Chain A
Amino acid sequence: MLWLALHFRHLPLETFTRGVRGSGPLAIASSSGSGAPLVACDRKAHARGVRCGMAVAAAWALASDLKIVMRDETAERAALERVAAWAFQFTPMVSISGPADVLLEVAGSLKLFGGLGRLRQRLEQGLAELGYGAFVACAPTPLAAQLFARAGLSVRIQHHDALHHELEKLPVSLLDHSPEITAMLGNFGVHSVGECLRLPRDGLARRAGQRLLDDIDRAVGRLPDPRSPFVPPPGFSASLPLPAPVDQVEALLFAARRLLAELCGWLAATGNGVQSLRFTLAHEDHADTQVVMKLVAASRDHQHLTDVLRERLARIELPCAVTAITLAAEQLQPLASHNLSFLPDARHHAESSARFVERLRARLGDEAVCGLAAFPDHRPEHAWRVCEPGNDAALKELQAPPSRPLWLLVSPQPLREVAAIPHYDGPLSLLAGPERIEAGWWDGNDVARDYFVARNPVQSVLWVYRERGASGGWYLHGIFG
């Protein structure tokens, strides 16, 4: 067993700040009221002398522009759960512990990710993308890993012998017991775990309680320490509050990127791809703005989703500043992961063209991008259809009729006639025809025409027809291009 512990020391603060790039001085208060102590403050506030534990009133005296937000413990818990769901892509055994720890059992994943070093690197990179700064420590027992992470030591211990030695140096206060016990041990002159271990066990158990001894035994690995595995939720919905309302698309995208990173981790963990996403942008005093992003093919590629979203956001008009952003995955589809291949293969091609279409549609609108299909109908205007790009359902065995122009006019253009000869930049001379097309009586759009290939004096080759029946006019219907 090998455990990675992630300790989120700044979770109360990061719950609010990770959606914005560089905020003003901000502090988190444990409750409302001016006497409430601060639980966290950002770097700018710290530079002004604001410290944790300070009363709100005292902090305001130091920094008048300090923004104070009430701590949101449910949001912290939800954030931790989302990190756990995201971390599922690295291992099937993830557990949440305490208020700010996530544990990963990674012994089985080392080979897949190319060793502990690489795995940790990816994990830390991913956490930075999510907007968290976590302390990561690695140890053979979950509790020991947690203790090292809480101590801020990014150790990498893989064997029990080394564990014992390193653990002895940790202060006993990390063990999360009541301050009285820590103070009592301090009075004995016992500060570190090692010193605890050297005391007679029965005496220590009598004075400090059996729990302290059990905790140390669990950390060292003498007692079993089963953890309850976290089960990722079946659906994905996450929201991110923005401490300073945002009215610029670029800033909004920054926050949305965080949510998309969470989503992609969760998708990778559950083996799914997403095909439709809904962003809900909350405003101070205006109805929410809904942004739905539909994809041609399911995806879980962070960069791609960000690219599509950037184009999509560029098209919307924000009625006023956004105070919170919520992302929900609406349409999920199982998506197998990639095999790495040295040469680009057909699947890679198909995927990159689907992405290309999505990017175009996000910016230009759905109707602006289409494919064409031929349809078996004699009437020229009904012999083609608009379809999805890349639609293979087009009739393959369809025979192309002779003499068809590359360009078809949207609607036939009546031609001027001089002495019974149609004119289009001069009198037309007919090269081929007539080809009689008489069809469509069954759907009310019946046509009766004689088509000719014609050329005008300036050498354009045109497709013209003469209406059969009473009116008998000449029309231009296509250009041979």
Chain B
Amino acid sequence: MAAPSLDAVLNHSAIWRGNDCARVAVPSVPTGFAELDMLLPGAGWPAEALTEIYAERPGIGELQIVMPAAARLTQAERWLVMIAPPHIPYAPALLGHGVRLSRLMLIRPETVEAQLWAGEQALRSGSCGAVALWLNRVQERALRRLQLAAERSGALAMLFHTARTPPFSSVALRLHVSKANGRVIVRILKRRGGGIPAPVALDLHGVTGGQPATLHQSAPLQARFLQAAHRSVKNA
């Protein structure tokens, strides 16, 4: 009998190496970014678990990285529920990202308790594909409740915030989103399966959701600004 090669032994699913993410079969939804999928256990956003997306500042692409998955879910007739978003989710842009608006629900509760309650209800309802919550300063206990609700939901549960949270929370996946040189940098702070991989830079194909043609990136930025401002003033 030939001895199995070292590679074959190491590839066995029962063997986990510390510098590597354990290969686990968890229900997930592909993110739409191959680079990001490679870093996530289950190769996608984890369904049935809470994902925390911590954006360094609002408006740097934290929402765009979830749009491909959210759009795919709405096309599959699952609900995309947004709870207490900080601004108006702009319908034409969502349409541009491929979201089916008839599967979009906006919930604006007044208090934090009501927001958490609505999130829990959304996750428990069984008809939602993705539930996105915008919460700042959330209690650890409330997070655990959401995590429990998410575990039985089969839906993506996304928690967005810009404030720091306790680092040892019960959340399954924590991402830090920042931006440098026009590219979105996603750093994984915590994931199931262990190991903290190097940050990944994502190209969001411009800021328009699939229409990169309108961006003029070649001209020096300040010069472009002055030219454009000039034109605008002349036209006025």
- Distance A401 CA – B224 CA, assembled complex (angstroms): 23
Q: Which of B22-30, B37-45, B85-93, B137-145 lies at the interface? A: B85-93
Question: Are A398 and B95 interface neighbours, CB within 8 A?
Answer: yes
Smallest beta-carbon distance B203→chain A, Å? 14
When distances are taken between beta carbons in the complex, the residues of chain A under 8 Å from B87 are 407-410, 478-479
Chain A residues 376-413 with CB under 8 Å of chain B are: 380, 383-386, 389-392, 394, 398, 400-410
- Residue of A372, A430, A454 most packed against chain B (CB within 10 A): A372
Given A356-B122, A392-B102, A460-B57, also A450-B221 (CB < 8 A): no
Q: Does B11 contact A (CB under 8 A)?
A: no
Report yes or no: A430 in contact with B94, Cβ–Cβ below 8 A. Answer: no
Q: Say whether, besides A353-B127, A405-B93, A368 and B109 are in contact (CB < 8 Å).
A: yes
Residues of chain A contacted by B211 (CB below 8 angstroms): 402-403
Q: Known contacts A429-B221, A459-B179, A460-B57: does B106 contact A403 (CB below 8 Å)?
A: no
A312: Cβ under 8 A from any B Cβ: no
Kindly state the interface size class of chain A when it binds its partner. Answer: 35 or more
Tell me whether B3 is interfacial, beta carbon within 8 Å.
no
Q: Is A360 an interface residue (CB 8 A)?
A: yes
- Residues from chain B with a CB closer than 8 A to the CB of A410 are 87-88
> B228 to A406, Cβ gap below 8 A?
no
A433 in the interface (beta carbon within 8 A): yes
Docked-complex contact A374 and B108, CB < 8 angstroms: no
Contact bitstring B96-124, A, C-beta under 8 A = 1, else 0: 11000111111111100010011001100
Which residues of B are found within 8 Å of A434, using beta-carbon distances? 228, 231-232, 235
Cross-chain contact A453 with B207 (CB below 8 angstroms): yes
Q: Which of A39-47, A182-190, A202-210, A466-474 contacts B (4 or more CB under 8 A)?
A: A466-474
Chain A residues with CB under 8 Å of B207's CB are 403, 405, 431, 453, 461, 480
Which residues of chain A come closer than 8 Å to B235, judged between CB atoms?
Answer: 434, 436, 450, 468
Let me know if B216 is at the binding interface, CB within 8 A. yes
- Chain A: which residue is nearest B62 at the CB level? A481
A481–B58 CB distance below 8 A: yes
Task: With CB as the reference atom, state the residue of chain B lying closest to A468.
Answer: B236
Docked-complex contact B101 and A461, CB < 8 angstroms: no
- Are B59 and A373 interface neighbours, CB within 8 A? no
User: Closest chain A residue to B97 by CB distance?
Assistant: A406
CB-CB under 8 A from B104, the residues of chain A are: 371-372, 389
In the docked arrangement, what's the CA distance between A219 and B213, Å? 90
Contact B59 A460 (CB under 8 A): yes
Of B79, B89, B96, B182, which is within 8 A of A407 by CB? B89
B24 to chain A, nearest CB (A): 26
| A460 and B58 contact, Cβ closer than 8 Å, known pairs A356-B125, A403-B207, A453-B215 | yes
Given contacts A349-B77, A372-B104, are A400 and B92 in contact (CB under 8 A)? yes
- Residue in B63, B106, B110 whose beta carbon sits within 8 Å of that of A406 in the complex: B63
User: With an 8 A cutoff between CB atoms, is B217 at the interface?
Assistant: yes
Give 1 or 0 for each of B175-190: 1 = CB within 8 Å of chain A CB.
0001110100000000
Enumerate chain B residues within 8 angstroms of A287, measured Cβ to Cβ: none
- In the complex, the answer to whether B92 meets A384 with C-beta atoms within 8 Å is yes
Please give the residue numbers on chain B whose beta carbons come within 8 Å of chain A beta carbons, in ascending order.
Answer: 57-64, 67, 77, 79, 85-97, 101-110, 114, 117-118, 121-122, 125-128, 178-180, 182, 207-209, 211, 213-217, 221-222, 224-225, 228-229, 231-233, 235-236
Q: Can you spell out 18 A-B residue pairs with CB atoms less than 8 angstroms apart?
A: A349-B127, A359-B121, A371-B104, A372-B101, A400-B93, A400-B96, A402-B213, A403-B211, A404-B96, A404-B208, A405-B207, A407-B88, A432-B216, A453-B215, A461-B59, A466-B236, A468-B235, A480-B61
Q: Name A's B-contacting residues (CB within 8 A).
A: 346, 349, 352-353, 355-357, 359-360, 363-364, 368-375, 380, 383-386, 389-392, 394, 398, 400-410, 420-421, 425, 428-434, 436, 450, 452-455, 458-462, 466, 468-469, 472, 478-481
